[in-house]
Structure 1
Amino acid sequence: MSTGTHLVSVVIPAFNAGATIDETLRSVRSQSHERLEIIVVDDGSTDDTLAVAERHADQDPRIKIMRQGNAGVAAARNVGWQAARAEFIAFIDADDLWAPSKIERQLQVMIDGGERTGLVYSWYAWIDAKSRVNVKSDPVYHAGEVLDYLFEGNFIGNGSSAMVRREALVAANGFESGLRASGAQGCEDLLFYCRVAEAYHFAVVPEYEIGYRYLPNNMSSDMTRMFRSWMLVADEMAARHPDRVALLDRGISNYARWLLRRALIGGRLGYFASVLALLGRRNPLLAVKVVALGLPRDIASAAWWMSRGLRHRELRRPPPSFLIGDPNQSRC
């Protein structure tokens, strides 16, 4: 079935994204699937985010701008999708990028999967401030019933990858703004994916179509807050799925080890200590296992990566840029 006639709504939550939203909007406007409704939700920005979005709206009638006081990414996404007109809705943060075929390929997979398919994701590449690719995510092929996989780790990896069926959004009650209210903003994506996976199948487009930008001031750089957020997600899931507590504990252990390794590689010893302390207070036995079994391997791995980076820093070629399309060649 042709996908060209289907409207897709794109929701872009934006808070003080003046440095990046221009490129984000260019990547969205240049999608090969042109029948888009593009909703920018300005979340109380105090920089030129709104002005940049308005310049794009002057050039492209598909863009609609909404404004709200600062309420966080979950609330901004909810405002956007609730105002959207399409049956299929895709989300992208205002510092991330899409390859030109992202929407077209995901839409085709969504339609081919039928009504039971509630979410389609693609693979992602980590990009830096200059949109250069640092590393690519591991290939993941989880599809169908994926809740158990999500309990062990967020294999989708970010909030800019998914296209979602509207009825799945409604069933999941959108994104949870309560994490921010609890001082644990960060894992709204994971909680949303889990809620959708409780009732719907997932599907994957096995291509690197998302440029996920990681910068020192990103929300995900606060490792303590991210770990608190992950634990709150695990608590909600454990309440509804008590038979899967072992899987959720494995996910907590996996995430703690990942954060601890990142802290070591980045020399962020304060975060290392705080994450380990949080894990110890929650589950002392799990903390002992992480320290005794996982941490030695992680320290060795971190040391290897750091030494490798120092040895090869001057020999490496400049990393390639994440490729986006040209909106001047689109319908607008």
Structure 2
Amino acid sequence: MHPLVSIVIPAYNGARELRRVIPMLDAQTYAPLEIVVVDDGSVDDTPDALAELARERSHLCWVRQDNAGAGAARNRGIAEARGEFIAFLDCDDVWPDNAVEARMKPFLEQDDPEIMGVYCPADFIDEHGEKLLEGPLFDYSLPFDRMYFTSVTGSAFAPTCVILRRSALDLVGGFREELSPAEDFDLWQRMLRTGGCFLKVRSCRVGWVQHPASTVHTRLGFHHAQCVEVLDQMYKGLAPGPCLPEYSGPMGDVLARRDRVNRALGAGIMAAASGHRDTARELAREISLPFVRLLSVDGLMGTVRFNILRVLCRRESEWPENVWPEVAPRVLPWLRELDADLGGCRNLRELIRRLSGLPDGGKA
């Protein structure tokens, strides 16, 4: 008998999405499954949709709470779940039929307590299921496909990618609800700090849906500040678990600063591209010359492309002809101001030159 997997789904005004995602889970090739939906204070007909869906599915349970955010909803779902393993799914994301079976295979075949959880790559898709990027996200090249503490210093993957051991999750106490929407970034890093690993599963890929109106996109400064808090804590000796000594002290401070600069650069590009000029200028103040000098121009071009496509939810096939002319009048001035504020940076000047050579870039 396979161990029970509980799928935790937070939902806020998600009646339409739930009527799609719950039947999608009926096709999963793994059993037994439990579906736990937390209605996070919805004001639409989410309760009616869940009552209707639950009548036909004895393995679906749901609870309702006052609106408290995705982190709190996931914690409530974990508390209600009975499974030895916990999977997370947002109600607008997409799973293939083997999403649970493929990710549970390492747990079933390897008696390895070091593996706290597994993850798979994700396709970056829009609300209509169209791919925004040609290649998958979170498809890291790591030794033996194992991710350890600081293997990846960003938000390692989306919640919909992972299945976790309940015991490893309980050890760190679940999501920090006050960090929403950076609560998942924080959780992965706190779990990795305990010394275990996440194992990549190559045999499935989920769909991670992007919305232009999401909190990450519309409250860029707020989201960035939360991520900076997580980054700072990664390099400090905070419980639970040991902090690697190589990442504490002065060198840890330098690495934390580097990661903050890289994140501010990406968030600043998103803010500039979406017309949030004040936020973009505030983020520019967090970017310092020594760390920008470490970035290749090709890498900077990729950073510009990725963050513009992400914030606008546009397909990679539209870059640059159909996207760059739209954002160049906002992004190029921001980059020029950043270069001036840094006192002149060869990398940025070459980036600006290349971007100015794209269609209509010279008009900005």
Residue 36 of structure 1 is matched in structure 2 by 33
Q: CA deviation at 1:43?
A: 0.5
1:14 to 8, 11, 15: 11
Matches within 5 A, 1:1-332: 5-113=2-110, 114-135=112-133, 136-138=135-137, 139-142=139-142, 143-151=145-153, 153-156=154-157, 158-179=158-179, 185-199=180-194, 200-221=196-217, 222-240=219-237, 241=243, 242-243=248-249, 244-264=252-272, 267-270=273-276, 273-278=278-283, 280=285, 284=288, 297=301, 301=305, 306-309=319-322
Deviations 1:204-262 (A, max 9, x none): 11245211111112222232222111011112223325243333333323322332333
Residue 362 of structure 2 is matched in structure 1 by none
Alpha-carbon separation, structure 2, partners of 1:296 and 1:14? 36
Whose RCO is larger (CA < 8 A, sep 6+)?
1
Question: Between Structure 1 and Structure 2, which shows a larger proportion of strand residues?
Answer: 1
Alignment RMSD (CA, Å): 2.9
**Gap change, CA 1:262 and 1:120, over 3 Å in 2:** same
Q: CA deviation at 1:9?
A: 0.6
- Number of equivalenced pairs: 297
Q: CA deviation at 1:17?
A: 1.6
The AA in structure 1 aligned to 2:21 is T
**Gap change, CA 1:238 and 1:310, over 3 Å in 2:** closer
Q: TM-score of the superposition, structure 2-length normalised?
A: 0.73
CA contact (8 A) 1:23 1:97 kept: no
The AA in structure 1 aligned to 2:262 is N
Alpha-carbon separation, structure 1, partners of 2:303 and 2:35? 44
Q: TM-score of the superposition, structure 1-length normalised?
A: 0.79
Decide which moves more: 249-258 or 35-44.
Answer: 249-258
Give me the identity figure in percent: 25
CA contact (8 A) 1:32 1:101 kept: yes
The AA in structure 2 aligned to 1:154 is S
**Gap change, CA 1:220 and 1:60, over 3 Å in 2:** same
Show structure 2 runs of 5+ residues with no match: 238-242, 310-315, 325-364
SS at match of 2:118: strand
Alpha-carbon separation, structure 2, partners of 1:63 and 1:236? 37
Alpha-carbon separation, structure 2, partners of 1:300 and 1:174? 34
Q: CA deviation at 1:49?
A: 2.0
Alpha-carbon separation, structure 2, partners of 1:258 and 1:274? 12
The AA in structure 2 aligned to 1:195 is R
Show structure 1 runs of 5+ residues with no match: 180-184, 312-332
**Gap change, CA 1:76 and 1:295, over 3 Å in 2:** same
Q: CA deviation at 1:54?
A: 2.1
**Gap change, CA 1:290 and 1:216, over 3 Å in 2:** farther
Decide which moves more: 138-147 or 29-38.
Answer: 138-147
CA contact (8 A) 1:279 1:287 kept: no
The AA in structure 2 aligned to 1:20 is E
Q: CA deviation at 1:309?
A: 3.1
The AA in structure 1 aligned to 2:3 is H
